[in-house]
Structure 1
Amino acid sequence: MDFLHDSFAVEIAAYDEWKERSRKSNFFELVYVLDGSGYQTVNQMQYPYTSNGIFLLPTAKCHYYEVKEHSRFLFVRFTGSYFIPGPTDVVDYSSWFSRLNFIFGHHDYHPGELVEDPADKAQLKKLLDIILQEYERKDICSAFIIQNTLVSVLAVICRNIQKKKLDGRRFTDTRFADLINFISFNIMDVEKLSVPYLSKHFHIAETYFSEYFRRNANERFQDYVMKLRLKIAESRALYTDTSLQHIALELGFTDSSHMNRMMKKFYGQGMRQIRAGYKMADR
């Protein structure tokens, strides 16, 4: 694999027959089918792929490809340091860490096209073509251009997933829909998810905020935020090799025991059970 930056990796691979790849990532890998055809299997579910297909793969070994026609793939792997700005970075990538976790918390990791909306897919293809060109060019600016292009890639992915998430949901209060979106995309920012901040930002009286949220969501604000963080924690436990303690600290839990207690409270089983059960099912 060719590493262009310490926060991401880009690889082009060609196969007549699929072979297990040596890869380790904290998050996920974006796959762009340059040419060829066959079938993609993820979590024991199969879906056909063709040229220009765009897929998302979790880190865990729960996928493979059945190659029918000689295929070339562009793999873009996101690593844990992608959202930690370097000393020369001009973009605050830390603000995008929530986008990454939004994808983790809401993508179903089933096989099939990552983006269904034609306009979003066309946009994503253009961005991936830029990454492909810079990968092949490999000059002094290529890593910088790829890194900045990935910001837009994630934005398009998030927008598409958000459309699916809200499909069929109708809010009589458009302000509440905006509030839900804001919470989803700022789930890692403790300050922005405080009642004082949200009340001021959305022009809701602080003393009325809890009642307002419960009336529209049919659950407490604190429970909604906790369950969203737990959903992200579950996905990371299932689809990455990241330690439970590390997941807990990144998501704002005191430690892995605290995260485990909350998972049992809201979903009836602990994190170790979730991870162990998935590994058994994947055998």
Structure 2
Amino acid sequence: MNTGNNVFYEEVRLQEWKRRSTNNFFELVYIKEGKGKQCINYNYYPYKKGNIFLLPPLKCHSFLLEEPTDFVFLRFTQSFFKQQNTKSSNFENWYKEASFILTNYNQKPGDIIKSVYDKKHIIQLTNIISHELKNGDPSSEEVIRIIMVSILHIVMRNVKIINRDLIGTINKDSKFIEIINYIQENISNPELLKTENIAEKFHISPNYISEFFKKTSGNTLKSYIIKSRLKLVEVRLLNSDFNLNQIADELGFSDASHLTRTFKKHTGLTISEFRNKGDYCLLKIV
């Protein structure tokens, strides 16, 4: 099932898992019926009816079917984001939310939706998409696009919950968790991420916040912010038409040369080598 020439929705019943084409963003997978095991990077998680998974990009993922399984795949891709036939579509908002999910998802097996109510909402929205596709009304494409935006919001909300809980199991300091969330939510705003501004936001002295962050996380505040930005650089290099000057300006690098030098320092690759490789570097480090 598709809209235009871009397949974004697929509902299929499988007797055994078949290798799928790679996707530089991600796929949301809803299990309508069946049971078995999900595998990401050789980690296994049992699945059953009602599970909703996020398949990360260019990762080793598969399903071991213990019985025939009905899958629904929602594929989030740049080509789908860029189909803007009406004013209600907003590619930039889609792109930023998808990038947030991609750079913050912990890439472990398991149900991505932790809220029971959110899971019900996604299942209902998925059913509406299926109905709209079968209905074939001229307005269906834009209705589906709006629904996909809603699903994206719900997924992003649950990724934040997962990250909060994950950080909480490592370190119980609520201030540190708040700082991490603040950085991720404002990663595209370099002014807000200056040390003195973060310190002011959380009522900590500029000198102490750097010491506090290093002691709590093992990484310097500056290094954490740079690597978080470079993850977004990777997303943009592989999934957008932005040029280096646009990326540098958006993510707080002084110019394209500064971005290029920083990227090579942290990934070991030039921009050209990275694009030719066509695979993530920092994003694949869990």
Residue 56 of structure 1 aligns to a residue whose secondary structure is: strand
1:35 and 2:39 equivalent? no
Residue 147 of structure 2 aligns to a residue whose secondary structure is: helix
Alignment equivalent of 1:261, drawn from 253, 265, 273: 265
User: How far does residue 124 in structure 1 lie from its aligned partner after superposition?
Assistant: 2.4
User: How far does residue 232 in structure 1 lie from its aligned partner after superposition?
Assistant: 4.8
Q: Which residue of 2 aligns with 1:171?
A: 174
Alignment equivalent of 1:193, drawn from 165, 178, 190: 190
Q: Identity of counterpart residues, as a percentage?
A: 28
Residue 69 of structure 1 aligns to a residue whose secondary structure is: coil
Structure 1 contact 26–59 (Cα < 8 Å) conserved: yes
Residue 263 of structure 2 aligns to a residue whose secondary structure is: helix
Q: Which amino acid aligns with 1:32?
A: Y
User: How far does residue 222 in structure 1 lie from its aligned partner after superposition?
Assistant: 4.2
User: How far does residue 139 in structure 1 lie from its aligned partner after superposition?
Assistant: 2.3
Structure 2 contact 103–231 (Cα < 8 Å) conserved: yes
In 2, Cα distance between equivalents of 1:213 and 1:6: 50
Aligned-residue RMSD, C-alpha: 4.1
In 2, Cα distance between equivalents of 1:216 and 1:7: 47
In 1, Cα distance between equivalents of 2:195 and 2:135: 45
Residue 110 of structure 1 aligns to a residue whose secondary structure is: coil
Q: Aligned residue pairs: how many? A: 258
1:150 and 2:154 equivalent? no
* TM-score, normalised via structure 2 length: 0.71
In 2, Cα distance between equivalents of 1:247 and 1:209: 37
Alignment equivalent of 1:115, drawn from 108, 113, 116: 113
Could you tell which deviates more after superposition, 81-90 or 210-219? Answer: 210-219
1:184 and 2:184 equivalent? yes
User: How far does residue 18 in structure 1 lie from its aligned partner after superposition?
Assistant: 1.8
In 2, Cα distance between equivalents of 1:242 and 1:151: 21
Q: Which residue of 1 aligns with 2:78?
A: 80
In structure 2, the gaps of 5 or more residues are none
Runs of 4+ with >4 A deviation: 5-8, 195-200, 202-205, 208-213, 218-222, 231-234, 245-253
* TM-score, normalised via structure 1 length: 0.72
Residue 34 of structure 2 aligns to a residue whose secondary structure is: strand
In 2, Cα distance between equivalents of 1:36 and 1:106: 29
Structure 1 contact 32–75 (Cα < 8 Å) conserved: yes
Residue 51 of structure 1 aligns to a residue whose secondary structure is: coil
In 1, Cα distance between equivalents of 2:108 and 2:9: 23
Could you tell which deviates more after superposition, 85-94 or 41-50? Answer: 85-94
In 2, Cα distance between equivalents of 1:14 and 1:123: 23
Q: Which residue of 1 aligns with 2:9?
A: 10
1:223 and 2:223 equivalent? yes
Residue 130 of structure 1 aligns to a residue whose secondary structure is: helix
In 2, Cα distance between equivalents of 1:89 and 1:129: 25
Query: Relative contact order: is structure 1 or structure 2 higher (C-alpha 8 Å, sep ≥ 6)?
Result: 1
